[in-house]
Amino acid sequence: MSNRANVLVKNTLLFAIGNIGSKLIQIMLVPYYTRVMTDVEYGTTDILQAIVSLLLPIVSLTIYESVFRYSMDDEYDKVAVLSSGVFVSTIGAVLLCFVALLIQIINPIQYVWLIVINSIATSFRSLFSQYARAINRVTLFTIDNILLTVYILVLNIIFLSFLKMGITGYMLGYILANVISLLFLYIKLGNERKINLRLIKKPVLKELLLYSVPLIPNAICWWLSNFFDRIMITTMVSVAVNGLYAVAHKVPSLLSMFVAIFFQAWQISANTEFKKQDISEFYSKIFEQLFVTIVLVSSVLIIFCRPITDIFMGEEYYSSWKFMPYLLLSMTFFSFAQFLGSIYSANKKTGMAFITNLIAMIVNVSLNFILISSIGALGASIASASSYFILWVIRVINTRKIVPLKYKTVQIYVTIFILLMQALLVTNISNGYGVYLINIGLWLFLIIIFKNTIKEIVNFFLGILKRMKR
């Protein structure tokens, strides 16, 4: 198991190089956006980007997921897989443009073409990015991730600060950044990105679509769970409050940044190790260490969400801190559910991923209607945390049939209780040293509970450092 863990850590570090730099730039852009855009403008761009996220799996049929999965499989011709992916993405792009044209003829809507072009550019860029990752062009994948964020940074400064283009400039920045990134990937992949339409065969295309199509409703459910609350806040409260809620999401993105890096590497390990006999032991150990790491980081962010907001956000957005504790809980539970979701992917049971997400989405939407109407935007964050907790529990039960993981149940119960207590203390008691002392004490208690696992994690990384010095 040690060698497999080494491979996982190595891949994680490689992906981290590209992701940490790009994610940090994105996070640092938030104070810039909050200073050059009004809360209404920022809330509007958040909704537009949410719509792009919704359209992406539809216009692409999530074919980029199939290209990633099957390009790793030696049984399939990589050129045929990529060519099929380009073919499907092109058909989707043409259909989306046709629908947009009809909409504009019947009832013109502002920003429609910006949304459409952004969705198409993101679709093709995702396709080639995932292909590069699948064929072990990790360095290219890493460099491109960093450059994409740099493109966004430079273009947004030009469009927002110099040209004063507001919402339109924000969207144009993302469109051009994705186009430049796509061209960069296409050029650098060289002979490995050959596209041959003659290799597009019905059996291969069918196999790819059987894998990717169930991921479309799955992605839509994920979108509804993540962005429906923002639409509800906009309609039931105000666009300005949605702007605050959007800013509040940026702190949990600190946690999601590292989790996303890990899962990029974990997807590879989960797929390659799935058929081995001791897979249950391997999965269980990795989940335990992931659980401890995420819990400790999430706990710290909950404790210090107020000062973090005060330092990094504009004064106009300070009140967004009150949404953060439950959004951090939401991200924590989602991370655990996502880990178990990798079991579905490795076993090619993407339909189960959809069913479990559908249940969570129904819970999320129902709670949003109930809680937002009674306690406002705070209800949306509570609904999000509750739905992802239920998603995690369902997958714990369901995945036992595929890979029976071994959980330390008592520790998990205690941990959930502590995180919930910390969130309640931060959101319901006025700011003061007493709250910080209690929450820090609870965090130290978590350290004691997980001391053995923490030692394993520390010793493992110390061993890696020693080998690197040699």
For residue 464, the model assigns a pLDDT of: 61
Nearest to 234 by CA among 385, 51, 53: 51
> For the chain, which ranges sit under pLDDT 70?
1-9, 18-21, 23, 225-226, 269-278, 314, 430-431, 463-470
d(CA 451, CA 464): 20
Contacting residues for 4 by C-beta, under 8 A, at least 6 apart:
269, 273, 282
> Strand, helix or coil at 394?
helix
Write down the pLDDT at residue 178: 96
pLDDT for residue 1: 46
**Angle made by CA atoms 40, 44, 48, in degrees to the nearest 5:** 175
Asked if 163 and 36 touch (Cβ cutoff 8 Å), the reply is no
Q: Which helix (H) or strand (E) holds 242?
A: helix 239-248
pTM: 0.76
| Stretch (H or E) spanning 299 | helix 279-303
Domains of the chain, by residue range, sit at: 1-15+217-470, 63-212
